[in-house]
A and B are shown apart, each in its own frame.
Chain A
Amino acid sequence: MTPATTPDQLPALEALPDLPRDDDGPVFREPWEASAFAITLELHAAGHFTWDEWATTLSQQISAAQAAGDPDLGNTYYRHWLAALESLVTTKALATPEALDLRAQDWVRAYRSTPHGHPVKLKTG
């Protein structure tokens, strides 16, 4: 299966004015940020939401955080990104908030029961 998002089919990143980027494109501070970015691109490419919907959800999230006192120095950008993505995923009924919480807890248990260096495998339930 080829990826739905190819380099020349990047959605309109300029619709996201605060996106941390340099001349060559987006930049990330931590690997999870790149993963959150990739999930968003893939869900969009698969037609689960339009890029306008995404940009709106993200900017609402950022405005809400700013209203709550976030200094918005760029280092929290992907926190807002992830919160917006979770919100859109649940609004679109792709997953429930409860399922996301449970799954995160499952991962914590999986990490804590795996010796370091071994692949961490998910044990759900």
Chain B
Amino acid sequence: MAHDHHGDEMTEPPSEMALRVQALESLLVEKGLVDPKALDVIVDRYENRVGPRNGAHVVARAWTDPDYLERLRADATAAIAELDYTGRQGEHMVVVENGPKLHNLVVCTLCSCYPWPVLGLPPAWYKSSPYRSRAVIDPRGVLAEFGTMLDEDVEVKVWDSTSEVRFLVLPERPEGTEGWTIEQLIPLVSRNSMIGVEKARPATGAAA
């Protein structure tokens, strides 16, 4: 599947509501009535408040239900919709699975395509130009900055999100979680582990 192009198509405007907010925000910023950086700070504070728990639910279900995992591999969009997580920018989901010898990392090199129905609002660093450029050139360096050290023989694959395809990383299930329920597993699945900059949280120290 081609995942390295954004195509030459023009940008589709967002929903009417999003456009009205954008109109309001840009006018108020222009008049100096609100500071765009201050708005970013408030929105970033809530970036965890939209949906990473939706994605964590998908991951925990896949860890515990082999049939669901199969459906997720075959058609991630449909399998995610089974859990009622749908919406704009989540229409064409592809799940990439980590394994003992494979680590996946998601970026959007050209803009900030992001599957927010499952992951919420993109964090500021995901939208930043250094992450977007360096994730492709030096993925191990980027991972190291997030404290993620991989063995030499682990392959790192970088997936470039586009307007057509949004990727969700399925992190490896942490050791020592055999027999855990979905509810116990969900807190182990961080947003960053589903972007691929970190691994899922270890079983130790988690609120089981």
Contact surface of A with B, Cβ cutoff 8 Å: 1-5, 7, 24-32, 34-39, 41-43, 46, 48, 78-79, 82, 85-86, 89, 94-95, 99-101, 103-104, 106-108, 111-120, 122
Contact = CB atoms under 8 A, between A and B. Distances in A.
Given A86-B20, A95-B27, A100-B23, A107 B13 contact: yes
Interface stretch (B28-36, B71-79, B96-104, B137-145): B28-36
Contacts of A99: 27
A111 B12 contact: yes
The residue in B11, B37, B41, B110 that gathers the most chain A C-beta atoms within 10 A of its C-beta is B11
Interface of B: 6-15, 17-28, 31, 33-35, 37-39, 41-43, 45-46, 49-50, 87-88, 110-111, 116, 121, 162-163
Contact of B10 (A5, A103, A113): A113
A100 B42 CA distance: 23
A42 B10 contact: no
A57 to B, nearest CB: 15
A31 B121 CA distance: 6
A117 B33 contact: no
B97 to A, nearest CB: 27
A1 B28 CA distance: 16
Contact of A112 (B13, B25, B42, B50): B13
B23 A39 contact: no
A43 B33 contact: yes
A97 to B, nearest CB: 11
Nearest to B9: A116
Nearest to B108: A117
Contacts of B38: 1-5, 38, 42
14 contacts: A32-B17, A32-B18, A32-B21, A35-B25, A35-B39, A42-B35, A101-B23, A107-B23, A111-B12, A114-B11, A115-B6, A116-B11, A116-B12, A118-B110
Given A31-B18, A32-B17, A94-B28, A111 B11 contact: yes
Q: Nearest 6 CB-CB pairs, A to B?
A: A117-B6, A3-B38, A117-B110, A38-B42, A103-B23, A104-B23
A26 B46 contact: yes
Given A31-B116, A114-B10, 20 more contacts: A3-B35, A5-B38, A5-B41, A25-B49, A30-B18, A31-B18, A31-B50, A34-B49, A38-B39, A39-B21, A39-B28, A42-B39, A94-B33, A99-B27, A107-B26, A112-B11, A115-B6, A115-B9, A117-B7, A118-B11
Contacts of B12: 111, 116
A42 B41 CA distance: 11
A68 B33 CA distance: 33
B25 A39 contact: yes
A26 B121 CA distance: 14
A99 to B, nearest CB: 6
Contact of B24 (A2, A5, A26, A100): A100
